[in-house]
Every structure is written in structure tokens, then in C-alpha cells.
Amino acid sequence: MKKYWKSIEEYEDGVKDDHAHLPNKIQASEALKASRRDFLKYFGFSVASAAVLASCERPVKKAIPLLIQPEEIRPGIASYYASTFYVGSEAVPILVKVRDGRPIKIEGNESSVMTRGGTSAQVQASLLGLYDESRPKNPSFNKEEITWDKANADVKEALDNLPADKTMVLLTATVISPSQKALIQKLKTKYPNLKQVTLDPYSYSGLREAYSDIVGEAIIPTFRFDKAELIVSFGADFLGTWLLPTVFTHQYVQNRKLDNGQKKLSKHIHFEGFMSLTGSNADERFVIKPSEEGKYVLSLYNEVAKSQGLPTLDKGGFESAVKEVAQQLLNAKSASLVVSGSNDKNVQLLVAGINTMLGAHGSTIDLNQDINLYQGNDSALEQLLQSCKQGSVGALICLESNPAYNMPDAGSFKEAIEKVGLTVNITAQNDETSSLCKYVLPASHFLESWGDAEAVSGMLSLTQPVIRPIYNTRDVNQILLNLLGEDISSYDYLHQHWQKNIIPQSTDSNPFISAWKVTLSAGLLSVTMDKKPKSILNTNLSSAASKVSSDKNTDGLELIAYQSVPVGDGKMANNPWLQELPDPVSRVCWDNYFSVSPTLADEKGWKQGDVISISNIELPVFVQPGNHHQVISVALGYGRTMEGPKPEVIGKDVKPLFVSKGTGVKYHTAIADIKNTGRTYELATTQSHHSMEGRAIVRETSLSEYLKDPASGNEMHAEIEKLHTSLYDKHEYKGHHWAMFIDLNSCTGCNACVVACNVENNVPVVGRNEVRRSHEMHWLRIDRYYTQAPNDPSSLRVVRQPVMCQHCDNAPCENVCPVAATTHSSEGINQMAYNRCIGTRYCNNNCPYKVRRFNWYDYNGADSIPYNRKDPAGMSTDLKRLVLNPDVTVRAKGVIEKCSFCIQRIQEKKLDAKTAGEPLRDGAIQTACQQGCPAKAITFGDMNDEKSVVSKMMKDPRRYHLLEELHTLPSVAYLTKVRNIEEKLNAEPEHKTHS
């Protein structure tokens, strides 16, 4: 019998009393806070307020129309503006929803061929950065606010008067904006001793250097996961954080879907030292130490070369282990793709060598289209540090680069910057560098800025402001124009730049509407550039191979630094939506931690939450199945000390552990110094909550079994269907009957849907302590289950399942509500009327899916009673409340809430159809989770419409419902997960029948 489990405790001890982890003491002491005096106070208050209510008239409300009503702005009707998300990591074309003048939601731009409307959790959450009170509000000099005129004049004067023997350095984040590049070029012309250095929060220097050796240009080529039938990844978390995860997820799932009569799946083999999001989606997973990664690549190179009769290189030592992988690569030939997340140039050279042998260059890798992200170079940064220390740098202008946090060696940067005469920080955040710089020039948020982006060469997109700057900020182009002394607005500059340089390259032409207007409306433009096609110049890899093979193996423990999917490089670390988003692998939020394998934890005697210290950085232990037993992994991007409205440092910055001299940044290191502190720390984890007690909630099969019988792994569905009988009358749906399908094969667990749901439905942030008490409010969660034994990391498999309200036809919640606050609609929706709910939580108790959420406090400022308020994340301030969706009620304390199938969107689209006098088009309604999903794993539609996609999916033999044996008849259905493996997966999961 195959066993599914969610946590180590559950695996070992079986399912325990779920209440055991509840900290009753805290609850009791919290409850005691309300003293007898408080009780009397609030009792008196309520009596008085009832009296006042009864005697007074309602407050007078004003209705103030716009002075001059612009034609395209209608009260209560949203407008969408095309723009681009880019804050230093990936770039995603977006549409911004603006209601009555304020941006309230970000969607993906469906016309983008790269993403097709997909987003990531970070893209969804970036909206909140606009309403961040901690942003710098005015230009400042030595922390005193000054005017823009003075700031511009002073900085310009200082630059003009800089001695000729001193260099000035413009330290930027990677600039992917063509217009901004042109401005920097102008600055270089004006100041010949100006040097631009690029700093990335996460270095891809090794990859660029490798391609510089191979094709003569330091490029990152585009990878085409949609063209690959076999993907071999060495630690590249391409579904989570590597390069363009949203684009790659979209490409990856093209070959992972079976819902359209497809009979083929791509195969994904993953080598890594810890459990990453991408690794957890792989068909085969090799767990290796990071110090051996290069040797595995080398061994694979040798095996592939040997089979093709090509000369082999130095021995890697793992040839036998990768023999089978090499064979599969040779079978797939040019339809294979090998990628590596290593920042070691030599490893990347070998990977490129394998791809060249297989013919992947030109097929799954396009050398002629570059990814322009991450242009940083590690050695240039080290040179910069040196020259700062020597005092040869006269001026340092930091442009959105935040070196005080992002520099690999931030400690020595802080020393170095003291030797620089003029320091300017151009930033949209109140970041760590601001406190070290003389001048701080506040840049606008990207939703307030004019700009453009070219993340992949030839694929341009525009950034346009959707609101006037909230504070006295200017967009980056405007700041650079000011420094150049040019008297032109950033819009005019951008327009002119595009008219002159970009639009003429485009092939699209419309004689009636200007290309500029078309582009501004669509947000996107693809251009063809006359560039010399690149080809592989150098294939001599012997020196790379000898370097890799001579690398010493580390015997002891190793530490891996990775970027977590929610927080990433830490740029948006002060975003409560992202902090509260559980990591897709560990399901922990609000902290980083040292992940160790169960074997290592046993060996060292660590338990979950024991605080250990590695080189004086103290973090709690998290027991993570799937890690190599000699590997500890830890997330970057935490420990940011930027000031916020409520200054709190979340987690610890672990970058100091990875400082290495002269070899570029390596994100793994040997652990020299490890100590127990004897203290414990409770991590806020959503992992052991919502246990479904070993029932057949996730069903999976292998591709070979699926091809024999499409219903394999789902045999029990037919059995259960036969047994259905009910005491209740069957609901009759005369019009629509809404249904949602979730394809477990497409879902990668990236969590974009969770944040999309939070933003759309005003889901509150409850903070670390409330999550510890299982009070998280997310309407949509992604359950994660492990299969196989935890002590065998290679065989460990992960399945994920998004769970929201299942909108049962026989809903157990509905018939226990004493006040009929939750009822069934005529369209199959399980309705929740908040204003009727009295908070008995009977429905919550009776829901078998545990998808109902109770408002223990007022988190968003929904009512005016201060004692009800609990706002650990500062989400109820006037400014932050502007992000709330006016189409969804802000729930008050004491009511239950849950997924509504985005009823506001259903109502909107139905009304659109009615006013147009047309039947509702299938696919017109997209729920927030569906729209945000980069993998398009979620489908929503009308089951009563025979032609709809969901009606077709109803007939799919892979269809099953959660706990369908309970005969709740959910409207949400799942499609079984099919793995591309040979072995026969246990078709009969453990199944308890309830009499």
C-alpha cells in the first residue's frame, strides 16, 4: 500500500490528533486580555451605540462627481492598461486593472507570446509596493528633505566639478530598457570618466562568461522548454526562480498536458542537492551534493561523447550513474535540453558542450535571441570594490541596485563606500543603501513610471504609469534626464526614442493609427534586428574539464543558498502578501530556515525548530524530505533591514556565508562551523494543517499505464459513481452550472494563483503568530504531499493539489448553518452571505475539505471598533486599503469566508453578455486563480453548456473529485497526475470507507 504523507511527524507517527499542535496556552492568555473592565466597557459601548443608532439619522454621505468627466473613465467600471513588470529579476508583460483611478490588480498580458497571460506570485504581489508607506517620499541630502530642483542642481554641479583623475561609477541593476540604455550612453558621453557597472541580486555571471567563450559574446541564449522532449536540469530552478520562470513554466507545461488528446509527455530529469520547486516536479530526481554537480555534468558529457564517438574529457567519476540519462539524451537528440543553475563558468561550458553535441543549439536553445536579464559580472563588481577602497572613485550613483544588500560582499561594500566623495542613491524603496548615501533621489514605482523593457531581444514592451506618483517621486528616465540637464518630460523622451529608434524596426504597419498608439495600447512590439547570426566558435573544453575534475570533493556538510519562490532575491521582502505565502516546498512562511534531511536531523539530534548556528548565523532547523543527507539549504532574500512602517527584520541574510574571493559568487559552500544553540523557534508553517487523513485525495499514474487505460489510477471513481445515492433532492440548474477543473499534471505549484486570489478577493494578511495558530486566511491553498520513504531522497516524489471551496451540490456546510448564511445558488455556487453570518463556525467544522476561513480578528479595518483590529502587517492603513477590490466586501471580525468562484467576475461577465444581448461565451469568465496561472492548469466554465471546455473535461477518464465517496458532489474536479515514468504506480491508494 502506497503511503501519502505531509510531514515527517505524520509519516512516523501516523495521523495524530490535529489539535495537539494548537498552542492552547497562548489562546487562553490572549483571551484573558479582555478583562472584566474591558467587558463592561464594551458592553456599555454597545448599549450606548445601539441607543445612538436608534436616535440618530444615518451619516450624510457625499457624492462628488469628477469636475470634467474623461470619456474613458466611468465610475465603477475598470480600465486596463498594458505595462511591464520588472524589478530586477524576471520581466513579465502585464495588464493593470484600474478602478476609479486606483490600480487594484495585475493580470498577465495575454497577447504576449512568451507568457500568454501567465504571471508569478511576485508579479501579482508587486502591486502592493505601490501603496507602501515606507517608500522615500522626497529627495534628501544627508537625510534632510530637499526639493527636486536643489537635488538636481547639487548633484549635477558635483558631477561637473569632479576631478578628472577620479572615476564616477553608475552602479545599476540590469538595465533592460532600451530608452534607459540610451540615456546612460548619453551620460557616458557627457562624463567620459563615467563607468557603468551592473549588479544583480543573484548572479548569472558564470552562464554569460561561458557563452562569451563559446560564441564570443557574453549572452544568455533563450531556452525553449516547449520544444524539449527531454529536459535535464542540474540545479536550475527554472519553474521557480531561474531566469524567466513565468515564461519557462508556460513553455514547460505545453508538453505536460494530456487534456487535449495529447499522447506524449516531455520527460524531466533533475539533479539537485535540496528539494526545489522544479525538482519536486521532475519525473526523475537525482540527489547529489552541490560540490559534485560539475563532476556529474562532466560525466554526462563523457557518456554522451563516448556514445557518439567523440573525444571524451577528464573523468568525472560518476559515469555509471548518468549512463542511462546519457542514453535518453541520445535518443531525444536535438529535442533535448540540458540546463544548469551553476554560477561556475566551467560547468556552464560543459553543459553548453553537451547541448552542442546533441544539436540542441538551434533547436531548444536559440543563440540568436538573447535573454537580456542578469547582465552583471562578478569580477567587475570586485574591481569596483577595490577601486572604491583605493579612493579612485569620486562619485557613486546607485540606480535601483541597492549594493548594501545585494553585493555579494555587502560588508566590505559598506566600508568601501565611505571612501567615495559623492554618493547618490536612486531608488524606489527605502533600502539599505539609502542610509549610506548622501543624496537619495526617490524613483517612482514601476506602476507610476514611463519606460520600456526588452527582456528577450526583439520582444519589446512598454511600461506606462497607471496612477500619478503618490509621493514626490520621479521615474528613473526623468531622473537621468534631469542629470543630463535635458528639459524634456520622460513621456516625450520615450515617445521620441521609440519613434526614432524602435518603431522603424517593426514590421507591423497601420497607415491609420500611429504605431506608437497601437504599441501603447497593446503594450508589446516585436522587432526584427539585423544582427549577425551567432554560431559556436570554440568547442575546446579540456581546460574547463580539468578544472572541474580537479575540484575537491567536500567530505562534510555543505550549504546551498537558493531563492525561495515567494521572496526571491528579497527585492520585495517587505511585501506582506509574499511573506505570508507559504513556500511551495516547505509550506513555511514569514521566515527563512536551515532545511536538513530527516537523516541528517536524526544524526545530529535536531528537531524541527531547533535553532542552530552556522558561522554565527542562527536560524531554526526545518526537516525537509528530499534534501541530500549532507546538504543544508537556506533561502536568500531575507534579513532585509530596510525601514518600513513597522520595522521588522524577517529572517536572516545568509549572503555573508557565501563570500568567496576571486572565483565569482558560488551559491554553495562547505560548512566549517556548526553549533547547536539549545534554543528553539516556532516556524509558521501551514504544513500539518488540513490533513486529509490518508484518503485518496491525490490520484496519479504513470504514462505507460495511462496509455493503456486513461482511467488508470482513477479506478475508484467509477466505483463510487455507482454507489451514489442521496436523501436530498437533486438540485436543478436551469441556467448555468459552474464548474472548475484543475489539471494536476499542469500545476507546478508556483503559487501565483494564491496571491492572485488574495489580491482579487481582499483576503487578509494575518501575520506569523496567527499562522502558527492555524488561522491563515488564504481561500486557495496548494496542498503538497510526499510519497515514498523520507530517508530515500532520490525516490521521494511530490504531488501538489490546489484546494479551494469545492462548491458541493450536497454541501455539508449549508445544512448546519443556523442562520442560513451559507446557501446554494441556482447556478451551483455555495454562497456565503457575510452580513448574515453570526460566526458559529458549524460550517467550518462540517466542511470535509477545510476550506472555510474564520475572521478571528478584523485584519483589514472593516469595522471601527479598535479592539477588534489585528493588523500585524500594516495592511489596514489608509494608503494600503486603496488596494482593496471595491467589488468584494471587506469582511469584519467574526464571520466565515471562503472561495466564491470569483462571483464578482461571474456577475460582471454575465451582465456584459446580457447588455450585449448575446449568450455568455465559454471562457469569458476567468477566475482570478485561473487568469494568474502561468501553466493554465485551471479551467472554469459552465457544465450545462455542452460545448464548453469543462463539459468536455467532464468526460475525461482522468476526472475525479476530492473525497467523492462522501457524495458531496463537488463542482471542482481534478484530473489525475500522470508521470512520465515506466514503473507502475500503485493504482490503489490507501482508502478508508466511511460507513
Partner 1 sequence: MKIFSCITPLNIRFVLIAGLLCSFSTRAVSSENGHAFNESDEYNLMMGERLFNGLITTGDNTPSCISCHAKFSGDEMNWNPEAMVIANSVDSLDFDEFKSIVNSPADGFIAKVHKGYDLSDDQIAQIRVYLKTLGTEGVGEKPRNHPQLMLFLVVGLLMAAALVDLLFTKFVRYKMVHILIILIGVTVHLKMAYVGAAGLGRSEGYMPDQPIKFSHKVHAGANKIDCMYCHFNAEKGKSAGIPGPGLCMNCHIIVREGSHSGKSEIAKLIKHYEEGTDIEWVRVHNLPDHVFFSHAQHVNAGKIDCNQCHGAVEEMDILKQENDLSMGWCLDCHKNTNVQFGNDYYSIYDKYHSELAQGARDSIKAADIGANDCMKCHY
Would you tell me which residues interact with partner 1 (CB under 8 A)? 53-54, 57-58, 60-69, 74-77, 734-736, 823, 825-827, 829, 831-836, 887-889, 900, 903-904, 907, 910-911, 913-920, 942, 944-945
Q: Detail the DSSP E strand segments found in 926-971.
A: 938-942, 959-960
- How far, in Å, CA of 332 to CA of 968, rounded? 45
Please report which residue ranges of 126-173 form alpha helices under DSSP H: 127-130, 148-160
- Least distance in angstroms from the C-beta of 92 to partner 1: 29
Q: Which is nearer to partner 1, 224 or 737 (CB)?
A: 737
Kindly list the distances between the CA atom of residue 172 and the CA atoms of 180, 516, 849, in Å, as whole numbers in the listed order: 11, 28, 48
Q: Which is nearer to partner 1, 153 or 888 (CB)?
A: 888
Task: Say if residues 668 and 290 touch (Cβ distance below 8 Å).
Answer: yes
C-alpha cell at 75: 465610475
Q: Which is nearer to partner 1, 623 or 829 (CB)?
A: 829
- Least distance in angstroms from the C-beta of 88 to partner 1: 37
Task: Say if residues 158 and 605 touch (Cβ distance below 8 Å).
Answer: no
- How far, in Å, CA of 756 to CA of 932, rounded? 6
Q: Which is nearer to partner 1, 433 or 889 (CB)?
A: 889
Closest by CA position to 168, among listed 353, 489, 421, 382:
421
- Least distance in angstroms from the C-beta of 840 to partner 1: 17
- Least distance in angstroms from the C-beta of 459 to partner 1: 35
- Least distance in angstroms from the C-beta of 929 to partner 1: 16
- Least distance in angstroms from the C-beta of 917 to partner 1: 5
**Secondary structure of residue 192 in the 3-state scheme:** coil
Q: Which is nearer to partner 1, 72 or 673 (CB)?
A: 72
Q: Which is nearer to partner 1, 438 or 852 (CB)?
A: 852
CB atoms within 10 A of CB 142: 9
Please report which residue ranges of 369-502 form alpha helices under DSSP H: 378-390, 403-406, 410-416, 476-484, 490-497
Q: Which is nearer to partner 1, 799 or 929 (CB)?
A: 929
Phi first, then psi: what are they for 893, rounded to 5°?
-60, 140
Please report which residue ranges of 333-430 form alpha helices under DSSP H: 345-358, 378-390, 403-406, 410-416
Q: Which is nearer to partner 1, 472 or 825 (CB)?
A: 825
- Least distance in angstroms from the C-beta of 925 to partner 1: 13
- How far, in Å, CA of 224 to CA of 251, rounded? 7
- Least distance in angstroms from the C-beta of 892 to partner 1: 9
- Least distance in angstroms from the C-beta of 907 to partner 1: 7
CA atoms within 13 A on the CB side of 166: 20
Residue type, 890: V
- Least distance in angstroms from the C-beta of 962 to partner 1: 22
Q: Which is nearer to partner 1, 21 or 824 (CB)?
A: 824
Q: Which is nearer to partner 1, 28 or 64 (CB)?
A: 64
Instruction: State the DSSP H helix or E strand holding residue 611, giving kind and residue range, or none if neither.
Output: strand 610-614
CA atoms within 13 A on the CB side of 355: 29
Burial-class residue 294 by CB neighbours within 10 Å (0-12, 13-18, 19+): buried
Please report which residue ranges of 224-344 form alpha helices under DSSP H: 245-254, 277-281, 293-308, 319-332
- Least distance in angstroms from the C-beta of 948 to partner 1: 11
Task: Say if residues 702 and 983 touch (Cβ distance below 8 Å).
Answer: yes
- How far, in Å, CA of 940 to CA of 741, rounded? 6
- How far, in Å, CA of 425 to CA of 441, rounded? 6
Q: Which is nearer to partner 1, 40 or 77 (CB)?
A: 77
- Least distance in angstroms from the C-beta of 834 to partner 1: 6
Q: Which is nearer to partner 1, 288 or 920 (CB)?
A: 920
How far from the centroid of its chain's Cα atoms is residue 230's Cα? 25
